[in-house]
Amino acid sequence: MKETFFAFAVAATLAAAAEGTNESNKSESSAFSIEASVDVLSDYIWRGIICNDNPVWQPSVTLGYNAGDLGAVSLNVWSTFDATHRRGTSTNSRRSGGVQEFDYTLSYANSVGPVGLEAGHIWYVFPNNNGHSDQDLYGTVSYKNDYMTPSASAYWNYSDSADTDPSAVYFLLALSRDFTPVDALAVTPKASLGFGNHAYTDSSGGTEATDLTLGVAASYAVTEWFSLGAQVNYTWTPSHTLRHEGYMGEGDNQIVWGGVSAKLSF
């Protein structure tokens, strides 16, 4: 789930930053924000890859500062925990349970009219994999309008402790639209299409379409600072080459997944 819907989270962040920029009388204290959330999901899907086909829970904390015309800065800490003692097709083992990954993201966002811009750095850490870590630089551009929010993102995996090709790049195109059918309820249909260059996919082809995801998410604001949510998604591997090479993993090339979430915002 992490990167597949990361661009949608980016678009929402950019929209919030743009709104904050237009509030010229906003107090200094309210420029700071804290958000804590947890997702409980049926599977852990990342860029169309099944990282775990068993339930997971994924907490996240984001600290933000909106400097108005100067843009917004945020620091996010995200992690994923196996909810069972099974991971993928591995046998039942306590070693398979518990925390599997920590991600640290530092980002900067600003807007020029309806166009949102964001750039940042992601550091992936895998505690149970001999300290293996990856580092990405990324950039996103989005266009906020009355119909839908399209966005395009690029992630450059410039550093990898496993010594993979440092020219690996992943691209993500996304569309989303927010609806409010009743007060306090937001419904967001989503679609995204990911691509990886040759260094990223390590396949026999060139640039390949790695993952297509269609989904819908809903969020209900219980109070102004607490909300509950749910999502359901369908992910498929579009590239015939990658399907043949088992890109998704677990012997699959499509999966339906989803879950529920809770969020606190201050």
pLDDT the model gives residue 218? 98
Q: Please report, rounded to a whole number, the percentage of residues in the chain having pLDDT higher than 70.
A: 82
pLDDT mean across residues, the chain: 86
pTM, 2 dp: 0.84
pLDDT band for position 205 (50/70/90)? Answer: low
- For residue 54, the Cα-to-chain-centroid distance in whole angstroms is 19
pLDDT the model gives residue 90? 45
Each residue's pLDDT tens digit, 127-164: 887 768 899 999 999 999 989 999 999 999 998 766 66
Each residue's pLDDT tens digit, 72-107: 999 999 999 998 866 554 444 444 468 899 999 999
Average pLDDT for residues 5-17, to the nearest whole number? 43
pLDDT the model gives residue 13? 42
d(CA 46, CA 262) in angstroms, rounded, equals 21
pLDDT the model gives residue 162? 65
pLDDT the model gives residue 39? 98
Average pLDDT for residues 238-249, to the nearest whole number? 94
Q: Please report, rounded to a whole number, the percentage of residues in the chain having pLDDT higher than 90.
A: 71
Average pLDDT for residues 98-119, to the nearest whole number? 96
Look at residue 20 and tell me whether its pLDDT is greater than 60: no
pLDDT the model gives residue 181? 95
Look at residue 8 and tell me whether its pLDDT is greater than 50: no
Task: Please state the three-class secondary structure of the chain as a single string.
Answer: CCCCCHHHHHHHHHHHHHHHHHCCCCCCHHHEEEEEEEEEECCEEECCEEEECCCEEEEEEEEEEECHHHCEEEEEEEEEEECCCCCCCCCCCHHHCEEEEEEEEEEEEEEECCEEEEEEEEEEECCCCCCCEEEEEEEEEEECCCCCEEEEEEEEEEEECCCCCCCCEEEEEEEECCEEEECCEEEEEEEEEEEECHHHHCCCCCCEEEEEEEEEEEEEECCCCEEEEEEEEEEECCCHHHHHCCCCCCCCCEEEEEEEEEEEEC
pLDDT band for position 6 (50/70/90)? Answer: very low
Each residue's pLDDT tens digit, 51-61: 999 999 999 99
Look at residue 225 and tell me whether its pLDDT is greater than 70: yes
CATH number of 6-265: 2.60.120.620, 2.40.160.40, 3.40.190.10, 3.40.50.2300?
2.40.160.40
Look at residue 14 and tell me whether its pLDDT is greater than 80: no
pLDDT the model gives residue 250? 87
pLDDT the model gives residue 84? 84
pLDDT the model gives residue 201? 87
pLDDT the model gives residue 166? 81
